[in-house]
Structure 1
Amino acid sequence: MSARFIIARLGSQGDGIAGAEGGEVFIPFTLPGETVTAARQKDRAALTSVLEASPLRIDPACRHFTECGGCALQHFEAEAYRQWKRERVAHALKAKGIACEVETLVPCAPHTRRRVVFSARRTEGGMLLGFVRALSSEIIPIEECPISLPVIVASLDRLRRLAGLVCATPKAFHMTVTVTASGLDVAVQDAGKLGENQRRIASNFVLAEGLARLSVDGEVIVEPRKPVVQFGSVAVAVPPGAFLQATEAAEQTMASLVGRHLSRAKKVADLFAGCGSFALRLAAKSEVYAVEGDAPALAALDRAFRFAGGLKRVTGERRDLFRRPLTFKELNGFDGLVFDPPRAGAEEQSKQIARSDVPLVAAVSCNPVTLARDLRILLDGGYQLKSVTPIDQFLWSPHVEAVALLEKPKRRR
């Protein structure tokens, strides 16, 4: 049965929050100030109707909005949406007692996402390929996606056919599709063990359809062309399932902010370096020491450096920075540093950076909460926060990137 609610504010995941008997209720696809009806289950409710709409409510860009689970905020007016994302970073900093003017959000354009993770499953009615409905295991098949690069959307039918060819399980599995300079790179996870006949048929399909590569659970099945991306002037052949920033524009913005900040540094440490999106750009001016826990990513970085020309020296180390962070003594050999950890942040590594004498630090994060925690550690260690720039690359989602730039004054002797 539906009940009436008044939306007070947006939560951190983009859901509207209403006060109610028994505690707050989270209602997706609503906006502050709206009066709605929704069917409540404990602290969540499914929207049934909007009785009084916010003046900030707009028509969504996609027919699948509210169903596919990919976007949370297509109904939110663009400028208000961008301000809400900026405030997510500002609120996280404030919660840690960090006083800093957060820059204007760098926006994300539609049709720019180059890396998409689809869910797939074989059913009696055929192969499903799409996104999972929020708080559900139901796969919603999609026919459009206004966040993704057009080449991905145009390939939905052949990706669905390829999913059918590699499927060897009744369960749902994932298909990561990345746009590269060489074509689409498709990495399948948890689709089951492929038989020899499946491998042959899938390989022939990839060749016929002009895809760059097909891998299953990290194993390359067929690779007509090595998938290549550009990090500045350097071409990198990325390994299967490699991490890339979701949009090329956001990556370039982050790299530009980091590069300008570290431009005076002769020796730079790049921690959580991945395939080298920062390291290979920084190497145009600085000697770089790249540290990464994933061996294939580090190998791709190293190969790219060796085949590139005109770069300063780049060396690498495979190291789990969560279990064994670089110590402050090791860090003292550098005059610049960038770190870009996963969503969990880099608490232990930040403690070592805080104790170091590295004068220039750039912190890159996809999680405002863990970024604020790590920045608090650095500030308590003597660093000064110069700027924080939020960057949107996950359009219409609650996720936001940020680049924080810090300096540590030289100690008087």
Structure 2
Amino acid sequence: MNETLLIDHLGQKGDGVAKTANGPVFVPYALPGETVRVVRDGDRGQLVEIIAPAASRIAAICPLFTRCGGCAAQHMDEGLYKAWKRQQVVTTLERAGVAAPVADLVDAHGAGRRRVTFHARREGIGMMVGFMAARSHDLVAVEACPVLAPGLARAPAVAQLLANRLGGSNKPLDLQVTASDTGLDVDIRGHGPAGDKLRLSLTEAAERLDLARLSMHGEIIVERRSPLQKMGKAMVAPAPGGFLQATTLGEGTISALVVSALPKAKRVADLFAGCGPFSFRLAEKAQVHAVESEKAAILALTRAAGATQGLKRITSETRDLFRRPLLEHELNAFDAVVLDPPRAGAEAQARRLAASKVASVVYVSCDVGSFARDAAILIAGGYALEGVTPIDQFRYSAHIELVGLFRRAGKR
């Protein structure tokens, strides 16, 4: 049965939220102030009709919007969009009891995302390649995506051709395509080990597609050119499938915030360092100790550091910081610590930092909830959270990143 609702505000995921006598109802693609007709199922409402649209509603830039699950917010004007994303940070910190000034949202989309993952699976006699549909495991075929960087213009066609070569296994695949300075870097997951015949077929495909590198599950099938990414003064070849910030501008923006927060630091520990986007920039003025659990990422960092002139000393360590965080006596050797953990955050490391004498901590986070938890630990240990800057690399999605700066009282 249809029900008419008035949308009150936006939820964390971008859904319009209507207040009812039976609790909130979440309506995807509805905006505050709109009167909408929905089919209701518990606390979810499927949008049927917009009876009275909001002034903040705009036309989507992609014909697949609402079908493809990649974007949640193409229908919001700029003012509403920026306020919604910033409010995610404000609300989460307030709920955790963490007080801090939150800056305006920084747009770090730039030319677009430099990495994309396509899903592929057999449907009938062929391989279907695309993105996951909204709130579904169905696939939506994608010929072009407006949020991708120009370097990924060929990515849908590349993913389709490679999936066709792998279709005989009948296994669902993930094909991660990254734009590098030297061409496309592709890592395939889900297939399992490749035999000699398949390796030859994939090598021929990489030649035909002019790929820089092709790998499966992180194992290189063929590297025709080193897939380089510029990080400060360094040119880095990340490990196959290794982590990168979503956009080139995003990496530069976050790095600039990290470096500017530590103008006088002489020795910095870069924890969860990846392949070194912060390490290389920090090393222009300070000695850096980079710590990362992935051996391949540390190897990429070390190789690039050895080939780069004009940097102070960079040392590195492969270490699982979830199980073996740096201890107080190790941390106290540094003026500052930079953290960039995965979504789970860095609770164990935060507890050690709270007991340390480190003057400054710069925390880069891709999950506001785990950041708020760890921030509360640091604050309880004597740090002050001087400010938080929200960063928007994933335009039109609900995803938000941030940089938080912590100082011990009287220390800079």
Question: Map of 1:101-250 to 2, 5 A cutoff?
Answer: 101-109=101-109, 111-124=111-124, 126-250=126-250
Q: CA deviation at 1:316?
A: 1.2
Equivalent residue for 2:5?
5
Residues 327 and 151 of structure 1: is their aligned pair in 2 closer, same or farther, counting only changes over 3 Å? same
- 2:364 aligned with 1:370: no
More displaced stretch, 150-159 vs 334-343: 150-159
Equivalent residue for 1:55?
55
| Aligned residue type for 1:177 | V
- 2:36 aligned with 1:43: no
Counterpart contact for 1:166–1:194, Cα < 8 Å: no
Q: Whole-Å Cα distance in 1 between the matches of residues 111 and 338 of structure 2?
A: 29
Q: CA RMSD in A?
A: 1.6
Residues 223 and 344 of structure 1: is their aligned pair in 2 closer, same or farther, counting only changes over 3 Å? same
Q: Whole-Å Cα distance in 2 between the matches of residues 287 and 51 of structure 1?
A: 61
| Aligned residue type for 1:203 | T
SS of equivalent to 1:284: coil
Equivalent residue for 2:388?
388
Equivalent residue for 1:398?
398
Q: CA deviation at 1:185?
A: 0.5
Equivalent residue for 2:282?
282
Equivalent residue for 1:354?
354
Structure 2: 5+ residue stretches without partners: none
SS of equivalent to 2:296: helix
Counterpart contact for 1:15–1:29, Cα < 8 Å: yes
Counterpart contact for 1:58–1:75, Cα < 8 Å: yes
Q: CA deviation at 1:182?
A: 1.2
Cα-to-partner distance string for 1:243-287 (whole Å, 9 max, x where unaligned): 000001011011111111112111100010000011111111111
SS of equivalent to 1:160: helix
SS of equivalent to 2:37: strand
- Identity across aligned pairs (percent)? 45
Q: Whole-Å Cα distance in 2 between the matches of residues 345 and 127 of structure 1?
A: 37
| Aligned residue type for 1:174 | D
SS of equivalent to 2:45: strand
Equivalent residue for 1:320?
320
Counterpart contact for 1:110–1:147, Cα < 8 Å: no
More displaced stretch, 121-130 vs 301-310: 121-130
Cα-to-partner distance string for 1:171-219 (whole Å, 9 max, x where unaligned): 4221111100110001111034434322212211111221111111121
Q: Whole-Å Cα distance in 2 between the matches of residues 110 and 381 of structure 1?
A: 37
Q: Whole-Å Cα distance in 2 between the matches of residues 121 and 33 of structure 1?
A: 41
Counterpart contact for 2:103–2:389, Cα < 8 Å: yes
Q: Aligned pairs, how many? A: 411
Counterpart contact for 2:6–2:34, Cα < 8 Å: yes
Counterpart contact for 2:109–2:394, Cα < 8 Å: no
TM-score (norm: length of structure 2): 0.96
Q: Whole-Å Cα distance in 1 between the matches of residues 3 and 110 of structure 2?
A: 35
Q: Whole-Å Cα distance in 1 between the matches of residues 366 and 72 of structure 2?
A: 17
Counterpart contact for 1:68–1:130, Cα < 8 Å: no
Q: Whole-Å Cα distance in 2 between the matches of residues 143 and 154 of structure 1?
A: 9
Q: Whole-Å Cα distance in 1 between the matches of residues 78 and 205 of structure 2?
A: 41
| Aligned residue type for 2:332 | N
SS of equivalent to 2:169: coil
Counterpart contact for 1:62–1:144, Cα < 8 Å: no
Q: Whole-Å Cα distance in 1 between the matches of residues 263 and 168 of structure 2?
A: 51
Q: Whole-Å Cα distance in 1 between the matches of residues 118 and 218 of structure 2?
A: 16
Q: CA deviation at 1:98?
A: 2.6
Q: Whole-Å Cα distance in 2 between the matches of residues 111 and 172 of structure 1?
A: 30
| Aligned residue type for 1:67 | R
TM-score (norm: length of structure 1): 0.96
Q: CA deviation at 1:232?
A: 0.6
Counterpart contact for 1:182–1:226, Cα < 8 Å: yes
Structure 1: 5+ residue stretches without partners: none
